[in-house]
Amino acid sequence: MKFLYFTDTHIRGTNPRNRLDNFYETLKNKIREVVQISKDEGVDYILHGGDLFDRPDISLSVVGEFANILKEFNKSIFVISGNHDIFGHNPSTLNRTVFGLLCNLGILNLVNYKRIILKKDIKVQLTGSPYVYSMDSRENIESYMVRERDPEAKYAIHMTHGFLVDKPFIKEVPHTLISEIRDTLADITLGAHFHYGFKTVNLDGKYFINPGALVRISNSLKEVERRPKVIIMDLSDHIEIKEIYLKSAPVGNEVLDRSEIEKHQFKGIKINEFKELIDSSVNLNNMDIYSLLNIIASNEEISSDVIDEALKRIEHVQIDGADFV
């Protein structure tokens, strides 16, 4: 049984500030190449790790065009929701989003909190944990774990959209280390959200994989150097993992604008590099309000009731301002 995994496509109709090319056309070319890779590799199922869209209420004309491209896979596409796919980082708002619309239309198959058994030559258990606020707090580490397996499933795959990393990150940014979830019963844990990705880790015979985002929006040096890729997982008597880099992805220094950073380097290189790291890893352009709330809560010991109320108000504002033109 073969799977293709990719993540963080951040579909949008406008050009990000740091892109020099036509981002919309480049992204269409990338996803069409992913479709072709799936056909060349004889893939049985497509997996997407979340942040399919850059926001939950993008133009329906954009949604329609990319929906048609997704249908070209001609295979079942299993997805979990990322923080950009929903309002207020709340998966319960899915039915009000374009992401939820594609799920309701059957173009996408939602895995959020479900256990799905896929059958071909073997049985594979597929589960998924979508992004939620405070996913990377210690009390929520179970969202990364698989505790139960179907006794007839040869392998278990778990999809996650949280800040899962292979080594310690900035202490102010909540994150989860692979070593902290090594007791999971999943044979393969798929990560997303962290756009840089990390080199595939094999720990105790279990695989932890994040190929990185399919898009590059930040103008950090790491993003300039990074090459977008997808993962092919061939599951039979053993697990075989293969990386395929996209030929349609332009060279980083041709499409990512670093002119402003380079012009002002003398004013504070270290500050800029720290900002770039936060931009790329937390929320593309700037640390979002949810990350700020989390930091404030941890530093000031604000009660959970206050944080919950703040999140509800932000969610309502986002939904009231949604524009589906």
Residues 6+ apart with CB under 8 A from 78: 45, 46, 47, 48, 108, 109, 111, 116, 126, 128, 159
Start-to-end CA span in the chain (Å)? 40
The tokens describing 310, both together, are 């703040």
Which amino acid would we find at residue 282?
V
Q: What is the pLDDT of residue 324?
A: 41
Report the phi/psi class of residue 119: left, alpha or beta, with left for phi > 0 and alpha for psi in -120 to 50. beta
Residues 6+ apart with CB under 8 A from 29: 248
* Residue keyed to tokens 């069409």: 32
Helices (H) and strands (E) in the chain, counts: 9, 14
Residue ranges in the chain whose pLDDT is less than 50:
266, 283-286, 323-325
Task: Name the burial class of residue 209, with classes exposed (0-12), middle (13-18) and buried (19+) by CB atoms within 10 angstroms of its CB.
Answer: buried
Nearest to 191 by CA among 230, 223, 226, 162: 162
Q: What is the pLDDT of residue 172?
A: 83
User: Residue 97 falls within a domain, yes or no?
Assistant: yes
C-alpha of 159 from chain center: 10
Tally the domains of the chain: 1
Q: What is the pLDDT of residue 303?
A: 66
CATH of the domain at 108: 3.60.21.10
* Rg, Å, the chain Cα set: 19
- Total count of residues recorded for the chain: 325
pTM of the model: 0.83
The tokens describing 87, both together, are 């309002």
Please give the Cα distance from 8 to 211 (Å, whole number). Answer: 10
Q: What is the pLDDT of residue 259?
A: 75
Q: What is the pLDDT of residue 261?
A: 59
Axis crossing angle, helix 304-320 with helix 289-300, rounded to the nearest 10: 170
The tokens describing 240, both together, are 């075989």
Q: Quote the domain boundaries for residue 25.
A: 2-252
